[in-house]
Structure 1
């Protein structure tokens, strides 16, 4: 009987164990509730500069999940009217270049995307920062590294973000190549080539005015190779050499480079060989060579689709609208503290400006210029 009683007691306890629900720790439950109820903030952006690229960004924002176009800043009243009608922008969120400091008192605007000629970036970004708004600045961030550093310092002093429009830092095929390199699939990196060029048109445009552009092809598209060499190789260059060729001095006046070839040296011994030109078409190519494999991307930095081939086969990552992904990712950086695979902060922009400054110096001196990007 005693044995039978013990058996029945154990059986009853086993049955209870099967029917009593498992208790969820409160901390886990609280986290689940928090995740369920947490709302992702929307980044409310005003675009400064309503030209062709500003228009491209505005269109891309329409597909964003976390960004909304809420304001404009322009010196052309007719453009403001068109944008107000097209995007439903309230009149109180429209400014010109003289009065946009008043955004300080406008709670509808979180950030301003500066898309104006290069030489204007510094003063405009500093004014945005003083107004207490986050600044997104198109590249190149300035006309030299000293101006870029002033922008970084001003935004830090104001407690706002400064992000640079490096759309390629979020492009899926580009990120796949970086993953391959980090995973060792290419072996030891040994060489990088970056080619960027097109035949520029209208000789009266601001890109050919040194007072507004700060340079020619190097500022406009050469920066893709300086920046691309860094994230493709995975190191910071320590020296640069460069040579300039100018076949049309009337169109490409003093201070406007037509064609520059430049070389970057990296601590590991990797060499990058690059070309930037306003006088040749069909140049948009990256090539990365390692001891175990290679990658070729062509087009490599255009608006898309980006295409590429590796020793393993073609790159087949999703085709995206670069500016849409860029803006949503920037919202995550500002609101969530997200850290992208490749930085897009002001410090990143200053590094590229230091390289470009050194390239111009190397062109003038004909010698090797040392770099310190630490």
Structure 2
């Protein structure tokens, strides 16, 4: 039998790998002692976490997250109420990215959805509930927070029912369909001494937080103008978002609310004046009950002006720009679930330059859920409590009034 001659370099590499593998096997097989130092796995348990020594120089950026996930028995259990598109496609998967929360129960009017999703997420029959069984959540100790993901008009009923059970509440935005309901929700939760947080996911999104930090630190001078748009082309006219009795309104409370809340959060101020224009395409069946498009301006006590717009009848658009004395911050894809890009535009050495700001994206829903879980664990107030949702409800009512009257409203 004839063998081709093997180059020495190949033999040397293979032999080295064999020796290394054998050494690792012997090291693993040898009895471990406290003094042993594994040359491959340098991880050590310290203060309840697995930690590793740095492998880069001290002038390199670190890659370790600030904290590891909590053990399962220390996580805050959530019951998710309503298994529509948002819950199934975004909220439920987000629990896999959570550090402090876990899915503990599901509530739905669809037994088929409960069975399928219960199996997918490893829940038992005793963790699946219909709306008629809702009050049984009171006896489920693992459920500490109830996440309301129902149509807007049902938020008040289920927030009040949740508070009556002594459970903390995370409620989707908009908070309600009117300010009176929002006030009742806040009062009920205070009466039962439970927390109420409104699910403004963008307020926990890293790009938004970095934008707010830079603006409020006044790194580029005072804010003069803010532009924001959030628009999309709605489809099926029969969907609940286009039925005023369930939604409370059209594009403004659904997606325009993101522009309103982000502007208030960025400036850290409340508007002093509002003007608005509303329009719906005649004979479009989608807009028989709710508005299609709204454009509104706000003046703030600092002198900053905001020009905001929203629509249910255009190709998708989502952008926010903050214009300051020395620079502009541009947040592209500002309000979708992913794809945010934050850039700084300013003059450098006499040349206009755009610099993309490096921000690590994370699951917005996981961050939002973890914030609520942290508030429960630490007995702290949410960043977006019920009062924040109420402010937006009142301002949206003013926007509608300004559009109807054609007047500039002083607030």
TM-score in same-fold range (> 0.5): yes
2:157 aligned with 1:117: no
Question: Contact 1:173–1:316 at 8 Å: present in 2 too?
Answer: no
- Return the structure number with greater strand share: 2
Q: Distance in 2 between matches of 1:335 and 1:309?
A: 35
Question: Contact 1:46–1:109 at 8 Å: present in 2 too?
Answer: yes
What is the 5 A alignment of 1:171-190? 171-190=205-224
- The count of residues paired between Structure 1 and Structure 2 equals 334
The alpha-carbon distance between structure 1 residues 249 and 315, as it changes in their structure 2 partners (threshold 3 A), is: farther
- Match in the other structure for 2:259: 225
1:207-242 CA-partner distances (Å, limit 9, x unpaired): 011111111111110000110110122211122111
Q: Distance in 2 between matches of 1:301 and 1:36?
A: 37
- Match in the other structure for 2:367: 325
Identify the match of residue 347 of structure 1 among 365, 376, 387. 387
What is the 5 A alignment of 1:256-271? 256-271=290-305
Q: Distance in 2 between matches of 1:314 and 1:304?
A: 16
Q: Distance in 2 between matches of 1:311 and 1:154?
A: 46
1:110-167 CA-partner distances (Å, limit 9, x unpaired): 1111001111101111101101111100100101122111111110101101011111
The alpha-carbon distance between structure 1 residues 370 and 334, as it changes in their structure 2 partners (threshold 3 A), is: farther
- CA RMSD after TM alignment: 1.7
What is the 5 A alignment of 1:246-261? 246-261=280-295
TM-score, length basis structure 2: 0.78
1:34-79 CA-partner distances (Å, limit 9, x unpaired): x769x78311001001011111100011221111101011111110
- Match in the other structure for 2:242: 208
TM-score, length basis structure 1: 0.86
Please, which moves more after superposition, 361-370 or 139-148?
361-370
What is the 5 A alignment of 1:305-316? 305-311=339-345, 313-316=355-358
Q: Distance in 2 between matches of 1:108 and 1:228?
A: 34
Q: Which runs of structure 1 show a deviation greater than 6 angstroms over 4 or more consecutive aligned residues?
A: none
Question: Contact 2:280–2:287 at 8 Å: present in 1 too?
Answer: no
Question: Contact 2:146–2:167 at 8 Å: present in 1 too?
Answer: yes
The alpha-carbon distance between structure 1 residues 331 and 248, as it changes in their structure 2 partners (threshold 3 A), is: same
Instruction: Identify unmatched segments of 5+ residues in structure 1.
Output: 1-34
- Match in the other structure for 2:407: 367
1:290-345 CA-partner distances (Å, limit 9, x unpaired): 112111111111111211211362121101111111111221122114566xx211
What is the 5 A alignment of 1:12-91? 41-55=74-88, 56-91=90-125
Q: Distance in 2 between matches of 1:251 and 1:240?
A: 29
Question: Contact 2:272–2:300 at 8 Å: present in 1 too?
Answer: yes
Instruction: Identify unmatched segments of 5+ residues in structure 2.
Output: 1-46, 50-69, 347-354
Q: Distance in 2 between matches of 1:254 and 1:215?
A: 11
- Match in the other structure for 2:316: 282
